[in-house]
Amino acid sequence: MWESKNIETNTIHGGKKSQGEFGTLSTPIYQTSTFVFDNVQQGAQRFAGEDGGHMYSRLGNPTVEELEARMALLEGTEAAAAFGSGMGAVSSAVLALLKAGDHLVTSHRLYGCTFALFNHQLPALGIEVSFVDLADEQALRAAIRPNTKVIYGETPINPCMTVIDLDTVAAIARQHDLTTVIDNTFMSPILQRPASHGIDLVLHSATKYLNGHGDVVAGILCGPGELIDRIKMTTRKDMGAVMSPHDAWLVIRGLKTLHLRMQRHGENGQLVAEYLQDHDAVEKVYYPGLPNHPGHALLGRQMRGAGGVMAFELKGSFEQAVAFINKLQMCKRAVSLGDAETLIQHPASMTHSTYEPEELAEAGISRTLIRLAVGLENAQDIVADLGQALSVAR
Protein backbone atom coordinates (compact mmCIF):
# COMPACT_ATOMS: atom_id res chain seq x y z
CA MET A 1 0.00 0.00 0.00
CA TRP A 2 1.61 3.23 -1.21
CA GLU A 3 1.05 6.75 0.09
CA SER A 4 2.35 10.26 -0.52
CA LYS A 5 2.91 13.33 1.64
CA ASN A 6 0.44 15.13 -0.65
CA ILE A 7 -3.29 14.63 -0.21
CA GLU A 8 -3.97 15.29 -3.91
CA THR A 9 -1.90 12.23 -4.83
CA ASN A 10 -3.40 10.15 -2.04
CA THR A 11 -6.95 10.67 -3.35
CA ILE A 12 -5.81 8.63 -6.38
CA HIS A 13 -3.20 6.20 -5.06
CA GLY A 14 -3.32 6.16 -1.27
CA GLY A 15 -4.82 3.18 0.52
CA LYS A 16 -5.09 0.99 -2.57
CA LYS A 17 -4.39 -2.52 -1.37
CA SER A 18 -4.24 -4.68 -4.48
CA GLN A 19 -5.36 -4.99 -8.07
CA GLY A 20 -7.07 -8.30 -7.47
CA GLU A 21 -6.39 -11.60 -9.17
CA PHE A 22 -6.12 -10.07 -12.65
CA GLY A 23 -4.18 -6.90 -11.90
CA THR A 24 -7.05 -4.51 -12.64
CA LEU A 25 -6.34 -0.78 -12.48
CA SER A 26 -9.81 -0.12 -11.08
CA THR A 27 -10.60 -1.51 -7.63
CA PRO A 28 -12.48 -4.83 -7.92
CA ILE A 29 -16.09 -4.93 -6.73
CA TYR A 30 -16.49 -7.94 -4.46
CA GLN A 31 -20.25 -8.18 -4.94
CA THR A 32 -20.91 -11.04 -2.56
CA SER A 33 -22.96 -11.42 0.58
CA THR A 34 -20.94 -14.25 2.07
CA PHE A 35 -17.49 -15.89 1.84
CA VAL A 36 -16.52 -19.58 1.59
CA PHE A 37 -14.46 -21.31 4.28
CA ASP A 38 -11.98 -24.07 3.49
CA ASN A 39 -13.26 -26.03 6.47
CA VAL A 40 -15.19 -25.69 9.73
CA GLN A 41 -12.02 -24.90 11.64
CA GLN A 42 -11.25 -21.92 9.42
CA GLY A 43 -14.80 -20.61 9.81
CA ALA A 44 -14.56 -20.94 13.59
CA GLN A 45 -11.22 -19.10 13.62
CA ARG A 46 -12.66 -16.21 11.62
CA PHE A 47 -15.68 -15.83 13.86
CA ALA A 48 -13.37 -15.93 16.87
CA GLY A 49 -11.27 -13.12 15.39
CA GLU A 50 -8.22 -15.37 15.01
CA ASP A 51 -8.14 -15.23 11.21
CA GLY A 52 -8.04 -12.06 9.14
CA GLY A 53 -10.24 -13.50 6.41
CA HIS A 54 -13.80 -12.51 5.55
CA MET A 55 -17.05 -14.11 6.70
CA TYR A 56 -20.05 -12.04 5.65
CA SER A 57 -20.26 -8.64 3.95
CA ARG A 58 -22.18 -7.04 6.81
CA LEU A 59 -19.09 -7.71 8.92
CA GLY A 60 -16.51 -6.76 6.30
CA ASN A 61 -15.99 -6.70 2.55
CA PRO A 62 -12.71 -6.16 0.59
CA THR A 63 -14.09 -3.33 -1.58
CA VAL A 64 -15.57 -1.54 1.41
CA GLU A 65 -12.36 -2.04 3.39
CA GLU A 66 -10.32 -0.41 0.63
CA LEU A 67 -12.53 2.67 0.84
CA GLU A 68 -12.10 2.67 4.61
CA ALA A 69 -8.31 2.51 4.27
CA ARG A 70 -8.36 5.38 1.76
CA MET A 71 -10.51 7.57 3.99
CA ALA A 72 -8.42 6.92 7.08
CA LEU A 73 -5.36 8.01 5.13
CA LEU A 74 -7.06 11.15 3.79
CA GLU A 75 -8.37 12.20 7.21
CA GLY A 76 -5.14 11.28 8.99
CA THR A 77 -6.70 8.75 11.36
CA GLU A 78 -5.85 5.16 12.28
CA ALA A 79 -8.99 3.63 10.83
CA ALA A 80 -12.36 4.28 9.22
CA ALA A 81 -15.77 2.61 8.99
CA ALA A 82 -18.14 2.85 6.03
CA PHE A 83 -21.93 3.01 6.42
CA GLY A 84 -25.02 2.79 4.25
CA SER A 85 -25.79 6.49 4.86
CA GLY A 86 -24.48 9.53 6.66
CA MET A 87 -27.20 9.12 9.28
CA GLY A 88 -26.12 5.50 9.70
CA ALA A 89 -22.69 6.84 10.63
CA VAL A 90 -24.15 9.46 13.00
CA SER A 91 -26.45 7.05 14.84
CA SER A 92 -23.86 4.26 15.03
CA ALA A 93 -21.28 6.63 16.48
CA VAL A 94 -23.42 8.24 19.17
CA LEU A 95 -25.12 5.01 20.23
CA ALA A 96 -21.73 3.34 20.62
CA LEU A 97 -20.55 6.22 22.82
CA LEU A 98 -23.66 6.90 24.91
CA LYS A 99 -26.02 5.00 27.20
CA ALA A 100 -29.03 5.90 29.35
CA GLY A 101 -28.06 8.57 31.88
CA ASP A 102 -25.28 10.05 29.71
CA HIS A 103 -25.27 13.58 28.34
CA LEU A 104 -24.46 14.89 24.85
CA VAL A 105 -23.55 18.51 24.10
CA THR A 106 -24.24 19.56 20.54
CA SER A 107 -24.92 22.57 18.37
CA HIS A 108 -28.22 24.44 18.30
CA ARG A 109 -27.78 24.36 14.51
CA LEU A 110 -27.54 20.94 12.88
CA TYR A 111 -28.58 19.03 9.79
CA GLY A 112 -32.31 18.37 10.19
CA CYS A 113 -32.17 14.58 10.55
CA THR A 114 -29.28 14.76 13.02
CA PHE A 115 -31.32 17.28 15.02
CA ALA A 116 -34.33 14.93 14.96
CA LEU A 117 -32.19 12.02 16.17
CA PHE A 118 -30.76 14.08 19.02
CA ASN A 119 -33.98 15.90 19.93
CA HIS A 120 -36.40 12.97 19.77
CA GLN A 121 -34.73 9.55 19.61
CA LEU A 122 -31.88 9.97 22.11
CA PRO A 123 -34.07 11.38 24.92
CA ALA A 124 -36.44 8.43 24.41
CA LEU A 125 -33.45 6.19 25.22
CA GLY A 126 -32.68 8.11 28.41
CA ILE A 127 -29.80 10.14 26.92
CA GLU A 128 -29.78 13.84 27.79
CA VAL A 129 -28.97 16.40 25.08
CA SER A 130 -28.05 20.08 25.33
CA PHE A 131 -28.16 22.33 22.26
CA VAL A 132 -25.78 25.30 22.50
CA ASP A 133 -23.75 27.62 20.30
CA LEU A 134 -20.52 25.63 19.86
CA ALA A 135 -18.83 28.72 18.42
CA ASP A 136 -19.25 30.35 21.86
CA GLU A 137 -16.53 28.96 24.15
CA GLN A 138 -18.26 30.08 27.34
CA ALA A 139 -21.58 28.56 26.28
CA LEU A 140 -19.84 25.26 25.55
CA ARG A 141 -18.05 25.21 28.90
CA ALA A 142 -21.27 26.06 30.75
CA ALA A 143 -23.13 23.18 29.07
CA ILE A 144 -20.78 20.45 30.33
CA ARG A 145 -22.10 18.37 33.23
CA PRO A 146 -20.66 15.53 35.32
CA ASN A 147 -22.46 13.00 33.08
CA THR A 148 -21.39 14.60 29.78
CA LYS A 149 -19.64 12.10 27.52
CA VAL A 150 -19.66 13.52 23.97
CA ILE A 151 -19.42 16.83 22.13
CA TYR A 152 -20.91 16.61 18.64
CA GLY A 153 -20.79 19.31 16.00
CA GLU A 154 -20.62 20.28 12.34
CA THR A 155 -18.30 22.88 10.87
CA PRO A 156 -19.32 24.75 8.87
CA ILE A 157 -22.77 24.20 10.32
CA ASN A 158 -25.71 23.34 8.08
CA PRO A 159 -27.26 25.59 6.81
CA CYS A 160 -26.01 28.92 8.19
CA MET A 161 -22.30 28.14 7.69
CA THR A 162 -21.23 28.92 11.27
CA VAL A 163 -17.60 27.87 11.74
CA ILE A 164 -16.46 26.18 14.97
CA ASP A 165 -12.90 26.55 16.23
CA LEU A 166 -11.85 22.89 16.41
CA ASP A 167 -8.75 23.55 18.52
CA THR A 168 -10.91 25.14 21.20
CA VAL A 169 -13.50 22.34 21.17
CA ALA A 170 -10.80 19.66 21.35
CA ALA A 171 -9.02 21.43 24.23
CA ILE A 172 -12.22 21.69 26.28
CA ALA A 173 -13.01 18.03 25.59
CA ARG A 174 -9.57 16.93 26.78
CA GLN A 175 -10.02 18.86 30.03
CA HIS A 176 -13.18 16.87 30.77
CA ASP A 177 -12.20 13.54 29.19
CA LEU A 178 -14.92 13.78 26.54
CA THR A 179 -15.11 12.24 23.06
CA THR A 180 -15.49 14.70 20.18
CA VAL A 181 -17.34 13.97 16.94
CA ILE A 182 -17.24 16.44 14.04
CA ASP A 183 -19.18 16.23 10.78
CA ASN A 184 -16.71 17.28 8.06
CA THR A 185 -19.09 16.81 5.12
CA PHE A 186 -19.10 20.44 3.93
CA MET A 187 -15.30 20.66 3.74
CA SER A 188 -14.04 17.16 2.87
CA PRO A 189 -10.49 16.18 3.91
CA ILE A 190 -9.18 18.35 1.07
CA LEU A 191 -10.18 21.55 2.86
CA GLN A 192 -10.25 20.48 6.52
CA ARG A 193 -8.85 17.63 8.62
CA PRO A 194 -10.42 17.77 12.08
CA ALA A 195 -8.25 14.96 13.50
CA SER A 196 -5.18 17.17 13.05
CA HIS A 197 -6.85 19.61 15.47
CA GLY A 198 -7.44 16.96 18.15
CA ILE A 199 -10.93 15.74 17.17
CA ASP A 200 -11.56 12.05 17.95
CA LEU A 201 -14.12 11.01 15.33
CA VAL A 202 -14.55 12.62 11.91
CA LEU A 203 -17.81 11.98 10.09
CA HIS A 204 -18.92 12.38 6.48
CA SER A 205 -22.05 11.99 4.47
CA ALA A 206 -20.13 10.33 1.61
CA THR A 207 -23.23 11.01 -0.47
CA LYS A 208 -21.92 14.55 -0.91
CA TYR A 209 -18.42 15.68 -1.95
CA LEU A 210 -16.64 12.34 -1.45
CA ASN A 211 -18.77 10.68 -4.11
CA GLY A 212 -19.49 13.87 -6.00
CA HIS A 213 -21.86 12.52 -8.64
CA GLY A 214 -25.24 12.26 -6.91
CA ASP A 215 -25.58 8.51 -7.37
CA VAL A 216 -24.75 7.14 -3.90
CA VAL A 217 -26.14 7.33 -0.35
CA ALA A 218 -23.30 6.53 2.05
CA GLY A 219 -21.50 7.53 5.24
CA ILE A 220 -17.95 7.41 6.61
CA LEU A 221 -16.58 7.58 10.16
CA CYS A 222 -12.82 8.05 10.73
CA GLY A 223 -10.98 7.80 14.05
CA PRO A 224 -8.79 5.74 16.42
CA GLY A 225 -8.44 2.08 15.49
CA GLU A 226 -9.76 0.66 18.77
CA LEU A 227 -12.86 2.88 18.77
CA ILE A 228 -13.63 2.31 15.08
CA ASP A 229 -13.31 -1.46 15.56
CA ARG A 230 -15.71 -1.30 18.50
CA ILE A 231 -18.27 0.64 16.43
CA LYS A 232 -17.92 -1.81 13.54
CA MET A 233 -18.52 -4.83 15.73
CA THR A 234 -21.35 -3.36 17.82
CA THR A 235 -23.69 -0.67 16.51
CA ARG A 236 -22.81 -0.97 12.82
CA LYS A 237 -23.00 -4.77 12.87
CA ASP A 238 -26.10 -5.02 15.02
CA MET A 239 -28.10 -2.19 13.43
CA GLY A 240 -26.96 -3.18 9.94
CA ALA A 241 -26.14 0.28 8.59
CA VAL A 242 -23.54 -1.13 6.20
CA MET A 243 -22.34 0.09 2.81
CA SER A 244 -22.71 -2.11 -0.26
CA PRO A 245 -19.59 -3.07 -2.26
CA HIS A 246 -20.90 -1.29 -5.34
CA ASP A 247 -21.52 1.94 -3.42
CA ALA A 248 -18.02 1.69 -1.94
CA TRP A 249 -16.63 1.39 -5.45
CA LEU A 250 -18.58 4.48 -6.56
CA VAL A 251 -17.18 6.52 -3.67
CA ILE A 252 -13.64 5.27 -4.42
CA ARG A 253 -14.15 6.42 -8.00
CA GLY A 254 -15.30 9.83 -6.77
CA LEU A 255 -12.26 10.24 -4.52
CA LYS A 256 -9.96 10.24 -7.54
CA THR A 257 -11.23 13.66 -8.62
CA LEU A 258 -12.04 15.04 -5.15
CA HIS A 259 -9.16 17.53 -5.02
CA LEU A 260 -9.96 18.91 -8.47
CA ARG A 261 -13.67 19.18 -7.74
CA MET A 262 -13.15 20.90 -4.39
CA GLN A 263 -10.92 23.48 -6.06
CA ARG A 264 -13.62 24.27 -8.64
CA HIS A 265 -16.43 24.25 -6.06
CA GLY A 266 -14.45 26.75 -4.00
CA GLU A 267 -13.60 29.03 -6.91
CA ASN A 268 -17.21 29.09 -8.06
CA GLY A 269 -18.46 29.49 -4.49
CA GLN A 270 -16.34 32.57 -3.91
CA LEU A 271 -17.51 34.25 -7.12
CA VAL A 272 -21.17 33.47 -6.46
CA ALA A 273 -20.99 34.62 -2.82
CA GLU A 274 -19.44 37.93 -3.86
CA TYR A 275 -22.14 38.39 -6.49
CA LEU A 276 -24.95 37.71 -4.01
CA GLN A 277 -23.39 39.98 -1.40
CA ASP A 278 -23.55 42.91 -3.82
CA HIS A 279 -27.09 42.22 -5.07
CA ASP A 280 -29.77 44.64 -3.92
CA ALA A 281 -32.33 41.86 -3.38
CA VAL A 282 -30.09 39.99 -0.91
CA GLU A 283 -30.05 40.92 2.77
CA LYS A 284 -27.11 38.79 3.93
CA VAL A 285 -24.80 36.06 2.67
CA TYR A 286 -23.38 33.34 4.97
CA TYR A 287 -20.10 32.12 3.46
CA PRO A 288 -16.73 31.76 5.22
CA GLY A 289 -14.90 33.05 2.16
CA LEU A 290 -16.32 36.56 2.71
CA PRO A 291 -14.22 38.80 4.98
CA ASN A 292 -17.28 39.81 7.04
CA HIS A 293 -18.05 36.19 8.00
CA PRO A 294 -17.09 35.42 11.65
CA GLY A 295 -15.35 32.20 10.56
CA HIS A 296 -13.22 33.90 7.91
CA ALA A 297 -10.34 34.21 10.39
CA LEU A 298 -10.03 30.41 10.50
CA LEU A 299 -9.24 30.18 6.79
CA GLY A 300 -5.63 29.10 6.52
CA ARG A 301 -5.34 27.91 10.13
CA GLN A 302 -8.18 25.39 10.15
CA MET A 303 -9.60 25.38 6.62
CA ARG A 304 -7.75 25.42 3.32
CA GLY A 305 -10.75 26.99 1.60
CA ALA A 306 -14.37 28.00 2.07
CA GLY A 307 -15.96 25.28 -0.08
CA GLY A 308 -19.00 25.48 -2.30
CA VAL A 309 -21.95 25.75 0.11
CA MET A 310 -23.50 29.00 1.29
CA ALA A 311 -26.75 30.40 2.58
CA PHE A 312 -28.34 33.77 1.98
CA GLU A 313 -31.32 35.79 3.18
CA LEU A 314 -33.55 37.61 0.74
CA LYS A 315 -34.91 41.07 1.57
CA GLY A 316 -38.37 40.03 0.44
CA SER A 317 -41.07 37.80 1.87
CA PHE A 318 -41.40 34.04 2.14
CA GLU A 319 -43.54 34.11 -0.99
CA GLN A 320 -40.82 35.97 -2.87
CA ALA A 321 -38.22 33.43 -1.71
CA VAL A 322 -40.41 30.63 -3.06
CA ALA A 323 -40.94 32.50 -6.32
CA PHE A 324 -37.19 33.07 -6.66
CA ILE A 325 -36.38 29.38 -6.23
CA ASN A 326 -39.15 28.34 -8.61
CA LYS A 327 -37.92 30.76 -11.29
CA LEU A 328 -34.46 29.21 -11.53
CA GLN A 329 -33.73 27.38 -14.76
CA MET A 330 -30.25 25.81 -14.63
CA CYS A 331 -29.84 25.52 -10.85
CA LYS A 332 -31.71 22.45 -9.63
CA ARG A 333 -34.24 22.49 -6.81
CA ALA A 334 -32.94 19.60 -4.75
CA VAL A 335 -31.55 18.83 -1.33
CA SER A 336 -27.99 17.48 -0.95
CA LEU A 337 -24.75 19.07 -2.10
CA GLY A 338 -21.39 18.20 -3.61
CA ASP A 339 -22.76 17.22 -7.01
CA ALA A 340 -21.56 18.56 -10.35
CA GLU A 341 -24.88 20.40 -10.64
CA THR A 342 -25.69 23.53 -8.61
CA LEU A 343 -28.42 22.62 -6.11
CA ILE A 344 -30.68 25.00 -4.21
CA GLN A 345 -33.19 24.38 -1.44
CA HIS A 346 -35.30 26.06 1.23
CA PRO A 347 -34.12 24.75 4.65
CA ALA A 348 -37.17 25.75 6.73
CA SER A 349 -39.52 23.69 4.55
CA MET A 350 -37.08 20.99 3.42
CA THR A 351 -33.89 19.81 5.19
CA HIS A 352 -34.75 21.47 8.50
CA SER A 353 -38.50 20.88 8.50
CA THR A 354 -38.00 18.67 11.59
CA TYR A 355 -37.48 21.88 13.61
CA GLU A 356 -40.43 23.51 15.35
CA PRO A 357 -40.93 27.25 14.54
CA GLU A 358 -39.29 28.35 17.79
CA GLU A 359 -36.38 25.97 17.15
CA LEU A 360 -35.91 27.43 13.67
CA ALA A 361 -35.83 30.90 15.19
CA GLU A 362 -33.28 29.87 17.81
CA ALA A 363 -31.10 28.33 15.10
CA GLY A 364 -31.34 31.47 12.98
CA ILE A 365 -33.14 29.71 10.12
CA SER A 366 -35.68 32.18 8.76
CA ARG A 367 -38.39 31.59 6.16
CA THR A 368 -36.38 33.60 3.62
CA LEU A 369 -33.11 31.70 4.19
CA ILE A 370 -31.95 29.78 1.13
CA ARG A 371 -29.11 27.26 0.91
CA LEU A 372 -27.09 27.09 -2.27
CA ALA A 373 -24.63 24.29 -3.10
CA VAL A 374 -22.56 25.68 -5.97
CA GLY A 375 -21.69 23.14 -8.65
CA LEU A 376 -19.01 22.75 -11.30
CA GLU A 377 -20.65 24.72 -14.10
CA ASN A 378 -19.15 27.92 -15.47
CA ALA A 379 -19.57 30.45 -12.66
CA GLN A 380 -20.99 33.07 -15.00
CA ASP A 381 -23.83 30.71 -15.95
CA ILE A 382 -24.65 30.17 -12.29
CA VAL A 383 -24.64 33.93 -11.67
CA ALA A 384 -26.80 34.58 -14.74
CA ASP A 385 -29.44 32.07 -13.60
CA LEU A 386 -29.48 33.52 -10.07
CA GLY A 387 -29.71 37.02 -11.49
CA GLN A 388 -32.73 36.39 -13.69
CA ALA A 389 -34.52 34.65 -10.80
CA LEU A 390 -33.69 37.37 -8.25
CA SER A 391 -35.72 39.82 -10.28
CA VAL A 392 -38.83 38.50 -8.52
CA ALA A 393 -37.35 39.26 -5.10
CA ARG A 394 -36.50 42.94 -5.72
Instruction: Choose, from 109, 208, 236, 261, the residue flagged as catalytic.
Output: 208
Judge whether 58 counts as a catalytic residue.
Answer: yes
In terms of Cα–Cα distance, which of 8, 72, 10 is closest to 201? 72
Instruction: Choose, from 102, 165, 183, 385, the residue flagged as catalytic.
Output: 183
Burial class (CB in 10 A: 0-12, 13-18, 19+), 141: middle
Distance separating alpha carbons of residues 262 and 61, to the nearest angstrom: 29
In terms of Cα–Cα distance, which of 280, 291, 306, 268 is closest to 382? 268
Instruction: Choose, from 16, 46, 70, 111, the residue flagged as catalytic.
Output: 111
| Region label for 338, one of left (φ > 0), alpha (ψ between -120 and 50) or beta (otherwise) | left
Judge whether 5 counts as a catalytic residue.
Answer: no
Query: Do 389 and 342 form a contact (C-beta atoms < 8 A)?
Result: no
Judge whether 183 counts as a catalytic residue.
Answer: yes
Distance separating alpha carbons of residues 303 and 269, to the nearest angstrom: 15
Judge whether 229 counts as a catalytic residue.
Answer: no
Distance separating alpha carbons of residues 126 and 233, to the nearest angstrom: 23
Sheet of 201-205, strand order: 79-83, 219-223, 201-205, 179-183, 148-154, 103-107, 128-132
Please identify every residue annotated as catalytic.
58, 111, 183, 208
